[in-house]
Amino acid sequence: MEVLIFNKDVNASRYAAKMFAKLIRKKPAAVLGLATGSTPCLLYAELRQQHEEEGLDFSRITSFNLDEYVGLDGDHPQSYRYFMQQALFDHINVHPGKVHLPDGKSDDIPANCVDYEKNISAAGGIDLQVLGLGSDGHIGFNEPSSSLASRTRIKTLTRETREDNARFFDSADEVPQHCITMGIGTIMEARQIVLLAFGERKATAVKQVVEGPISAMWPATILQMHPSVVVLLDDAAAASLDQKDYYREVADNKPDWQRI
Residues that bind ligand GLP (CB under 6 A): 35-39, 66-67, 132-134, 140-141, 161, 165
Residue 52 annotated among the catalytic residues of the structure: no
Give the integer Cα–Cα distance in Å for 174 and 47. Answer: 31
In the complex with ligand GLP, the residue whose CB is nearer, 161 or 186, is 161
Q: Specify which residues 234 forms β-bridges with.
A: 6
Closer CB to ligand GLP, residue 23 or residue 179? 179
Known catalytic membership, residue 67: yes
Measured CA to CA, the distance from residue 47 to residue 188 in angstroms comes to 24
Active-site residue among 46, 138, 164, 234? 138
Between 37 and 104, name the residue whose CB sits nearer to ligand GLP.
37
Least CB distance to ligand GLP at residue 204 (A): 13
- Has 163 been annotated as catalytic? no
CA nearest to 58, candidates 49, 67, 66:
49
Contact indicator for 134, 163 with CB cutoff of 8 Å: no
- Give CA–CA dist 194/220, Å, rounded: 12
164 among known catalytic residues: no
CB of 134 to ligand GLP, least distance (A): 5
Helix (H) or strand (E) holding 219: none
- Which one is catalytic: 68, 103, 127, 143? 143
Q: How far is the CB of 41 from ligand GLP (least distance, A)?
A: 8
Q: Give the residue numbers marked as catalytic.
A: 67, 136, 138, 143
